[in-house]
């Protein structure tokens, strides 16, 4: 998705298109960049697009950008700011009649609630997102809701948590991959759990190794186990 949407960006720039309401791809690119561990580039996309949307009065685009920025903030650990921005974005999208975009904001809120609690998300937190996706007949998104609910039951819960200081510098995607590595999941299993490609998992692990100063997935487990072993 990132590769394809970057190409769309290049094509629109080459054609001199500056109205973000023409293609409405900017929010998707930003969110995909967050998923692949590139929040800085995501924020750049958001800021550039927001300037054009403000100039042209594109309210729906601005709401989608706020949803994307909330994910950037969540990746940085700013959960309260992320929830506030997501809630506002959802309300505005609902008022504008953008049902699918509203549903995506509701889904992001449910995901954030689960992450913040530090445990498997409650089914009730996804009910509203599921209802909205059904009203839009957005079956792929409904499958994502179902997968999010089923994931905690698909395998054992992590026995050990990363040392907070060791993983503080990791992006949200990197922390998720590291946590699944500690469960003993393979790269293919991690890709299935996070809805990304195996190559994305491999690239994310490479960044984790570099940031933590380690060389293998075994070192991730040792790093997490270290304080408890002592």
Q: Compute the distance between CA of residue 20 and CA of residue 52 in angstroms, rounded to an integer.
A: 7
Query: What is the pLDDT at residue 117?
Result: 47
Instruction: Give the total residue count for the chain.
Output: 230
Please list, residue by residue across 15-45, b when 16 or more beta carbons sit within 10 angstroms of its beta carbon and e when fewer do. Answer: eeeeebeeeebbbbbbbbbbbbbbbebbbeb
Query: What is the pLDDT at residue 167?
Result: 67
**Where does 164-229 sit in CATH, by number?**
1.10.10.10
Q: Which parts of the chain register pLDDT below 70?
A: 114-124, 151-168, 221-230
Query: What is the pLDDT at residue 45?
Result: 96
Q: Is 1 exposed, middle or buried (0-12, 13-18, 19+ CB in 10 A)?
A: middle
Q: Where in the chain are all domains bearing CATH 1.10.10.10? A: 164-229
Tokens of 94: 């609902």
Query: What is the pLDDT at residue 157?
Result: 43
Query: What is the pLDDT at residue 178?
Result: 86
Q: Where in the chain are all domains bearing CATH 1.25.40.10? A: 2-154
Q: Compute the distance between CA of residue 194 and CA of residue 35 in angstroms, rounded to an integer.
A: 9
Query: What is the pLDDT at residue 152?
Result: 52
Q: Within the chain, what is the greatest distance between any pair of CA atoms?
A: 61
Tokens of 176: 């998720």
Query: What is the pLDDT at residue 48?
Result: 95
Query: What is the pLDDT at residue 116?
Result: 53
Query: What is the pLDDT at residue 115?
Result: 57
Assigned fold of 2-154: 1.25.40
């Amino acid at each position: 998705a990132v590769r394809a949407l970057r190409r769309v960006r290049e094509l629109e720039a080459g054609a001199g298109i500056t109205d973000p309401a023409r293609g409405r791809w900017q929010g998707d690119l930003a969110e995909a960049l967050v998923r692949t561990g590139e929040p800085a580039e995501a924020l750049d996309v958001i800021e550039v697009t927001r300037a054009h949307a403000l100039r042209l009065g594109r309210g729906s685009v601005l709401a989608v950008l706020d949803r994307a920025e909330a994910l950037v903030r969540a990746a940085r650990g700013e959960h309260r700011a992320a929830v506030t921005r997501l809630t506002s974005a959802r309300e505005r999208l609902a008022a504008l009649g953008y049902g699918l975009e509203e549903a995506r904001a509701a889904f992001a809120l449910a995901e954030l609630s689960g992450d913040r609690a530090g445990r498997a998300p409650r089914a009730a937190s996804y009910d509203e997102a599921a209802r909205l996706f059904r009203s839009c007949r957005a079956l792929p998104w409904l499958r994502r809701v179902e997968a999010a609910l089923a994931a905690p039951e698909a395998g054992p819960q992590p026995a050990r948590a990363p040392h907070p200081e060791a993983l503080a510098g990791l992006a949200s995607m990197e922390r998720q991959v590291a946590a699944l590595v500690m469960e003993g999941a393979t790269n293919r299993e991690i890709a299935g759990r996070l809805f990304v490609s195996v190559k994305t998992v491999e690239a994310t692990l490479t960044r984790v190794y570099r940031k933590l100063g380690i060389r293998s997935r075994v070192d991730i487990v040792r790093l997490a186990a270290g304080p408890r072993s002592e």
